């Protein structure tokens, strides 16, 4: 065998082992983590989940990419409701239980171009749902007998949502006018905050006194485990803990709409807050310029913050209880 032929065969073998054989995955805009190219252009969904104790245990919430917690009413000890956002949702198994939405959720879901999944809501939502930006699907999802009152028996499945999207004529992918925006700026690698403010525990028990929310830093996973009603939050299906790489708290005032406690958070505007990751916190400010604008977060120097890749918890803290947030 001639020398040139031998060299060519050796070079071919080396390239076979050195060159990548797979295409790099796309990025999940909700987490900054890799996601399959097949869903790169898929719109997220934002699922409203009941957070009353009778609704526990939740199904599917631990799989959410971003979870918002906010006061659902000034009544009943300021009970909260969760809005769970998912990028990869078509194969979701039982998720929920599902409940009604509020005005604030309609505005925030739009920041992600997400389709809001809910079951009705007070008439105050009608004006918001009528806006061109609002994409939503309401009610008529799977009912599963679980021994609880009817309001705690509605759940949704990924394939079910696919069918409902088609029936409603809602695109599952980003189309003209629905391009992905950059809601978060992500760090290239896991980064610690240069801060003296320790945040191994994020105590929200006096903010949300009904369910007494708390997030505790887990040094093993370097994420924040979510607790409520005195227990760690685990998924009913597989026991997975709901845990977050990032915690963002927004200090937001609200307007109570009636004697029943319905309210709208004043998320259009600006305010203070915290960004928390890896056991430390920094003070931040937040700003949202319009109903269809995106919320941005800034450090004390006025620069937009970058967050670590992974799941994010965002708590809308009522301004009248902001002083009750405890970090230690």
Q: What is the mean pLDDT of residues 85-103?
A: 97
Provide the domain limits for residue 191.
26-327
| Whole-number Å distance between alpha carbons of 197 and 284 | 13
The whole-angstrom separation of Cα 128 and Cα 174 is 21
Structure confidence at residue 181 (pLDDT): 61
Tell whether 100 is covered by a domain.
yes
Where does residue 74 fall: left (phi above 0), alpha (psi -120 to 50 degrees), or beta otherwise? Answer: alpha
Ramachandran class of 229: left when φ > 0, alpha when ψ lies in -120 to 50, beta otherwise:
left
Identify whether 139 is part of a domain. yes
User: What average pLDDT does the segment 229-244 reach?
Assistant: 97
pTM of the model: 0.91
In a domain, 145, yes or no: yes
Q: Does residue 4 fall inside a structural domain? A: no
Indicate the average pLDDT of the chain: 91
pLDDT of residue 67: 98
The answer to whether residue 219 is domain-embedded is yes
Across-strand partners of 45? 86, 115
Residue 14 lies in a domain: no
Q: Is 220 helix (H, G, I), strand (E, B) or coil?
A: coil
CATH number of domain containing 221: 3.50.90.10
Is residue 188 included in any domain, yes or no? yes
β-strands 115-118, 45-50 pairing: parallel
Q: CA neighbours within 13 Å on the CB side: how many for 217? A: 17
Tell me how many domains the chain contains.
1
The token pair that represents 64 in the structure block: 């959410």
Q: What percent of the chain has pLDDT over 70?
A: 91
Whether 20 is covered by a domain: the verdict is no
With beta carbons less than 8 A apart as the criterion, state whether 307 and 286 touch.
Answer: no
According to DSSP, the β-strands at 269-277 and 246-252 are antiparallel
């Amino acid at each position: 065998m001639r020398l040139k032929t031998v060299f060519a065969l050796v070079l071919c073998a080396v390239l076979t082992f050195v060159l990548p054989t797979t295409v790099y995955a796309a990025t999940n805009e909700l987490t900054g983590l890799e996601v399959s190219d097949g869903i790169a252009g898929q719109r997220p969904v934002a699922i409203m989940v009941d957070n009353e104790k009778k609704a526990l245990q939740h199904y599917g919430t631990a799989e959410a990419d971003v979870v918002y917690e906010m006061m659902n009413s000034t009544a009943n000890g300021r009970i909260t409701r969760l809005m769970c956002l998912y990028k990869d949702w078509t194969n979701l198994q039982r998720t929920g239980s599902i409940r009604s939405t509020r005005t604030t959720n309609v505005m925030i879901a739009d920041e992600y171009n997400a389709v809001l999944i809910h079951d009705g809501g007070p008439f105050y939502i009608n004006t918001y749902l009528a806006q061109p930006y609002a994409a939503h699907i309401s009610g008529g999802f799977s009912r599963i007998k679980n021994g609880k009152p009817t309001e705690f028996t509605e759940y949704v499945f990924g394939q079910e949502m696919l069918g409902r999207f088609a029936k409603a004529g809602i695109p599952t992918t980003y189309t003209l006018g629905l391009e992905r925006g950059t809601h978060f700026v992500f760090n290239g690698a896991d980064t610690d905050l240069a801060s003296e403010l320790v945040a191994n525990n994020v105590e929200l028990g006096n903010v949300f006194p009904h369910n007494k929310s708390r997030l505790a830093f887990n040094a093993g996973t370097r994420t924040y485990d979510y607790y409520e009603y005195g227990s760690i939050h685990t998924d009913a299906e597989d026991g997975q803990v709901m845990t977050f790489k990032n915690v963002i708290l927004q200090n937001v005032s609200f307007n109570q709409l009636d004697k029943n406690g319905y309210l709208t958070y004043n998320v259009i505007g600006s305010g203070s807050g915290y960004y928390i990751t890896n056991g430390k916190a920094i003070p931040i400010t937040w700003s949202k310029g319009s109903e269809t604008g995106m919320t941005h977060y800034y450090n004390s120097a006025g620069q937009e913050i970058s967050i670590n890749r992974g799941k994010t918890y965002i708590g809308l803290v009522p301004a009248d209880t902001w002083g009750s947030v405890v970090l230690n």
